[in-house]
A and B are shown apart, each in its own frame.
Chain A
Amino acid sequence: GAGVSQSPSNKVTEKGKDVELRCDPISGHTALYWYRQSLGQGLEFLIYFQGNSAPDKSGLPSDRFSAERTGGSVSTLTIQRTQQEDSAVYLCASSLELRGTEAFFGQGTRLTVV
């Protein structure tokens, strides 16, 4: 596609359930990032993938969060046993490479945990 695509655009889940958020990066982009944006706040880095290298998971807030990237393209962010504080917009971005290149963001998935 022309841009970064994220699905679903909105997700409401019950506390304690697991959720999966999907990101389709721009074709050919080797770097992929996940960010979380809580209401009225800036973006919080979660994880990034670059090619076949081991992902940088340093931003994941807890072991309930995990992400994978299959075939160097689509990525899935999984949140297990969701909590109300997980409610946020989860943004995915991709870029051609890591060093200094422009990152293109998707429109995000708005997650609400009730």
Chain B
Amino acid sequence: AQKVTQAQTEISVVEKEDVTLDCVYETRDTTYYLFWYKQPPSGELVFLIRRNSFDEQNEISGRYSWNFQKSTSSFNFTITASQVVDSAVYFCALSEDFDNAGKSTFGDGTTLTVKP
């Protein structure tokens, strides 16, 4: 069975600090997808990134970066120079169904609060 653990329930930082959100996953499959989504107070989930299990290359997108390490089954998300607008709930998700990435198991989320 697949499982996603986001051990940090809540994180609070001051603007401009860097923050890393942890995600650890469990799966028996060798082919899978990993995702990060952002859920701002408005409630609508926003897709941030998708990674397949064959691609361990880390990715940077502006202030966002992701570190995928299969050896530790982790897919951590770092926000550099955080801003108040980054305040949201962030979800990590795993899909073992390589042909149906939308059928995912989500972690319980990490609530990030960025204070001015």
Contacts and interface: CB of A to CB of B under 8 A. Distances in A.
Nearest to A105: B45
A33 B45 contact: no
Q: How large is the interface on A (under 10, 10 to 19, 20 to 34, 35 or more residues)?
A: 20 to 34
A43 B45 CA distance: 10
B44 A42 contact: no
Which residue, B4, B100, B106, B107, has most C-beta atoms of chain A within 10 A?
A: B100
Interface stretch (A11-19, A61-69, A73-81, A88-96): A88-96
B52 interface: yes
B44 A107 contact: yes
Given A42-B91, A100-B52, A105 B44 contact: yes
A99 B106 contact: no
Interface string B46-71: 11001010000000000000000000
Given A42-B106, A108-B43, 8 more contacts: A31-B102, A43-B91, A43-B104, A43-B106, A56-B103, A93-B45, A102-B47, A106-B44
Interface of B: 4, 6, 33, 37, 42-47, 50, 52, 91, 93, 98-109
